[in-house]
Amino acid sequence: MTTTAPGTAPSQEVQEAGHADILIIGAGVSGIGAAHYMRERFPGRSVLILEAKDGHGGTWWTHRYPGVRSDSDLFTYGYRFKPWQGPAIASGPAILSYLDEVIAEEGLDEHIRYRHKVTSAGWSTADRRWTVEVTRADTGERLRYTTDFLWMCPGYYNHDKPHRPQWPGLDRYRGVLVHPQRWPEDLDVTGKRVIVIGSGATAATLIPAIAQDAAHVTMLQRSPSYFLAPPSEDQLAAELGPGELTFENLREAHIAVQDTLVKTAREDPSALHEFFMESMRPQLPEGFDIDKHFTPRYRPWQQRIGVVPEGDFFTALRAGKASIVTDTIDTFTETGIRVSSGEEIAADIVVTATGFTMSLFGDVAFAVDGEPVDFTDRVTWRGVMISGVPNMAYVFGYLRYSWTLRADMVCDLVSAMLERMDAAGATMVVPTLRPQDAGMERLPFCDPENFSAGYIMRAQDTLFKQGDREPWIHFLEYFQERDVLPKADLDDGSLVYS
C-alpha cells in the first residue's frame, strides 16, 4: 500500500513495508546481540533489524583506518553466547569476521534490511504499536514499518558526521585532510609527512600502523591521555593451566582485571596514575618529556584509557618514526599547521582523530501519541528505557568495561520484561515516575567528575537525565550492576503495564 501525505510530492510517498513484532534499529554489536536473544527467547515472534549502512558491524563497519582494533579484550567484548577464540585484543577486521560468523550461524542476514535509515518513530497508545519511518539510502524511497516493541541499538555517535573542530586557516591547507571515521581506501601514506591531531586511542592505534611507511608521523595533541601497554600474547591465558583455559575462565580473569582498574581509579587514583607513569617510562626514548606529553590533566579512567598492545605506539616513538607535539593549533597554513608556540609542522596529510559527534538514538525523531518527545525532559529507567516512552528499550554499553558485558545483561532484562508482559497479558509497558519520585533530583546523563570524554560533554545538554535513586540511575560500572540488573524488580511500580 502507498500513502501520500497531503501536499507532498510523489517522491515523498511512503510505502507500507510491513510489521515486525520486535524491530531493532542498528546492526552493530548491540543490534546483532539483541536479535540473537530475542529470537532465542521468543521464537514465535518476528524480529527485524533496520540498518542504515550497506553492511553490519556498526563501529567495525564504519572504522577502517589502518590498525583499527579493540581496546577491550574480546573475551568480554565478544558475546557471552559465542566464545571468542583468538588474542585478547583484536583487529577491526577480526571483530567483523566474528560478527559475520554470528550472523551466518544464526541465519540473521534475512532478518536485516540494509540501507534503511530510520528517521522517525511514533507510538500510538490506541493501536499499541510504533510506526517507524525509513529513508532508503540507495533509492531515497520512504518506507513505513510497524512494530510492537522498538529496540534502539544505534550506538552513541553519528556514523556520517565525525567531530572536526573548525580551526583557523583550515580552508587554506592544500594537503589531504582525513578523518579516521572516513578513511579513504586508496590513501597511500608512503613517504608522506603526516600529522595526526588527537591524543586518544584512535591516534595511538593509527600512528604505529602508518609510521613504518610514512616519512614521519607527528601526533599533535592539546593534552595527553593515559596508555596501557599489555603484552600481545595474552598474559592471563599464559597464567591459566591447560585444563583451566576455558572461555569462562578467561572471561572472568579479564573481568577481574577491569574490576581492579576501575576500582583502583575510584579508590586510589594517585596510585593508578603512578602505575601508568612507571609502566610508560621505560618504553619511552631517553630524555623524553613524560610530564609534558604523557601526564593527563584528569584522573585515570576519567576518560578512556588507550591500549597499545606490546607498546607499539612507544616503539614508533623510540624508532624516531613518530613524535609528539603537545600544544594548541594557532592556524592551518598552506603546507601544514602552526601551533601556539610558533612552531610550524609540515604535513602532506593531516588526520583529524578528534572524535565523534554524539547522536541520541540515531537522531530518530520520536513522538508518543502525536507529541514530540523532548528527551532532555526525560529520565532513564536503569539505562535501558526512558520515562514516558512505551515499549522501547535501548542499549548503551559500558565505557570502562567492555560495551557488550552490559549489552548482554540489557537483553536479559528486556527478555524478562517481555515475559512479564506476556504473563500479565499486557501489550504496553511504560516507565513512569512513582508518587515517591515526584520531587526527585534530575542529574546529568553523565557526571563529568566521573567520566568527562569530550563527545559526551559536548552533547550533555541534548541528552536525557538520571534520577538520584534506583531505578532511575544508569550505573556506569559492571561491578556496580552485575548483581543489580539481573535482579531488577519489574513490579516496583516504576513500570506501568496495561
Ligand X SMILES: Cc1cc2nc3c(=O)[nH]c(=O)nc-3n(C[C@H](O)[C@H](O)[C@H](O)COP(=O)(O)OP(=O)(O)OC[C@H]3O[C@@H](n4cnc5c(N)ncnc54)[C@H](O)[C@@H]3O)c2cc1C
Question: What 3-state class would DSSP assign to 44?
Answer: coil
In angstroms, give the least distance from the CB of 31 to ligand X: 5
In angstroms, give the least distance from the CB of 13 to ligand X: 20
| Contact residue for ligand X among 35, 58, 67, 200 (CB under 6 A) | 58
In angstroms, give the least distance from the CB of 380 to ligand X: 16
In angstroms, give the least distance from the CB of 327 to ligand X: 25
Element (H, E) at 109: none
Binding window for ligand X (CB under 6 A); candidates: 20-28, 39-47, 104-112, 430-438: 20-28
Instruction: Examine residue 355 and tell whether it contacts ligand X (CB under 6 A).
Output: no
Q: Which grid cell is 438?
A: 515526584
In angstroms, give the least distance from the CB of 115 to ligand X: 9
User: Can you tell me the distance from the alpha carbon of 422 to that of 427, in angstroms, rounded to the nearest whole number?
Assistant: 8
Instruction: Examine residue 421 and tell whether it contacts ligand X (CB under 6 A).
Output: no
**Dihedrals phi, psi of 239, to nearest 5 degrees:** -80, -20
Instruction: Examine residue 79 and tell whether it contacts ligand X (CB under 6 A).
Output: no
C-beta of 158 vs 221, nearer to ligand X: 158
| Contact residue for ligand X among 23, 24, 118, 473 (CB under 6 A) | 118
**Dihedrals phi, psi of 20, to nearest 5 degrees:** -125, 140
In angstroms, give the least distance from the CB of 59 to ligand X: 3
Binding window for ligand X (CB under 6 A); candidates: 70-78, 347-355, 378-386, 435-443: 70-78
User: Can you tell me the distance from the alpha carbon of 74 to that of 90, in angstroms, rounded to the nearest whole number?
Assistant: 7
Q: Calculate the alpha carbon distances from 101 to 27, 105, 131 in Å.
A: 14, 6, 31
Quick one: which of 444, 419, 104, 83 has its CA closest to 251?
A: 83
How big is the site for ligand X, counted in residues (CB under 6 A)? 33
In angstroms, give the least distance from the CB of 378 to ligand X: 19
Quick one: which of 212, 305, 327 has its CA closest to 257?
A: 305
List binders of ligand X among 147-186 (CB under 6 A). Answer: 153-155, 159
C-beta of 157 vs 173, nearer to ligand X: 157
How many H helices and E strands in the chain? Answer: 13, 24
Instruction: Examine residue 121 and tell whether it contacts ligand X (CB under 6 A).
Output: no
In angstroms, give the least distance from the CB of 432 to ligand X: 26
DSSP line for 309-372: GGGHHHHHHHTTSEEEEES-EEEE-SSEEEETTS-EEE-SEEEE-----B-GGGGPEEEETTEE
| Contact residue for ligand X among 75, 77, 314, 381 (CB under 6 A) | 77
C-beta of 95 vs 329, nearer to ligand X: 95
Instruction: Examine residue 391 and tell whether it contacts ligand X (CB under 6 A).
Output: no
Instruction: Examine residue 117 and tell whether it contacts ligand X (CB under 6 A).
Output: yes
In angstroms, give the least distance from the CB of 478 to ligand X: 11
Instruction: Examine residue 111 and tell whether it contacts ligand X (CB under 6 A).
Output: no
Instruction: Examine residue 467 and tell whether it contacts ligand X (CB under 6 A).
Output: no
Q: Calculate the alpha carbon distances from 419 to 39, 143, 349, 412, 425 in Å.
A: 13, 30, 54, 11, 10
List binders of ligand X among 288-307 (CB under 6 A). Answer: none
C-beta of 133 vs 327, nearer to ligand X: 133
List binders of ligand X among 28-47 (CB under 6 A). Answer: 28-31
203 and 66 in contact (C-beta within 8 Å)? no
Give the amino acid at 159: H
375 and 201 in contact (C-beta within 8 Å)? no
C-beta of 349 vs 407, nearer to ligand X: 407
| Contact residue for ligand X among 211, 395, 411, 413 (CB under 6 A) | 395
Quick one: which of 353, 390, 392, 472 has its CA closest to 154?
A: 392
| Contact residue for ligand X among 78, 306, 362, 471 (CB under 6 A) | 362
User: Can you tell me the distance from the alpha carbon of 295 to that of 93, in angstroms, rounded to the nearest whole number?
Assistant: 32
Q: Which grid cell is 450?
A: 566521573
Binding window for ligand X (CB under 6 A); candidates: 35-43, 71-79, 233-241, 373-381: 71-79
In angstroms, give the least distance from the CB of 206 to ligand X: 10
Give the amino acid at 284: L
User: Can you tell me the distance from the alpha carbon of 299 to that of 266, in angstroms, rounded to the nearest whole number?
Assistant: 9
Where on the chain is the footprint of ligand X (CB under 6 A)?
25-31, 50-53, 58-59, 61, 63, 68, 70-72, 77, 117-118, 153-155, 159, 202, 362, 364, 395, 397, 402-403
